[in-house]
Amino acid sequence: MKAEKLFYSIGEMAKMLGVNTSTIRYWEKEFDVLKPKKNKKGNRLFTPEDVRNLKEIHHLLKENGMTLKGAKQKLKNEHDRVSRDTELVECLKDIKNMLEALKEELKS
């Protein structure tokens, strides 16, 4: 099994997606989810999360033919859904803990 790299260069990303590096730089300006780190020389270093986001952006724009506006909205909706799901899971954990504490209190 191939280990996942910690960082990918813009050239690696461009090759992976079959686009120019200028396209990736443009997407970085357009999509808030892309926040590559930069080294001392200013070279972009893309994390595995950036890779997933870039692949999703590429899919939406190039394969699904969405507009930039449409792709941005879809990503925002997905991000909002994940945030709500995370909040719900945390709320359910709190309820579970309260019920377990109540159960222990009733036992004694």
Beta strands, E only, the chain: 37-38, 44-45
- Asked whether 54 and 17 are in contact (CB, 8 A), the reply is yes
Q: Can you give the residue ranges of every domain in the chain? A: 10-107
pLDDT string in tens for the chain (108-residue length): 556 788 999 999 999 999 999 999 999 999 988 999 999 999 999 999 999 999 999 999 999 999 999 999 988 887 767 667 777 778 888 888 889 988 888 898
pLDDT of residue 89: 78
Residue 8 DSSP symbol: B
Angle separating helix axes 48-58 and 10-17, nearest 10 degrees: 40
* SS3 sequence of 86-102: HHHHHHHHHHHHHHHHH
- pLDDT, residue 2, reads 58
Give the C-alpha separation, 45 to 15, whole Å.
15
Residue 90: HSE in the Cβ half-sphere, 13 Å Cα cutoff: 6
| Cβ–Cβ < 8 Å for 82, 100 | no
Q: Which CATH number fits domain 10-107: 1.10.40.30, 1.10.1660.10, 1.10.486.10, 3.40.190.10?
A: 1.10.1660.10
Model pTM?
Answer: 0.68
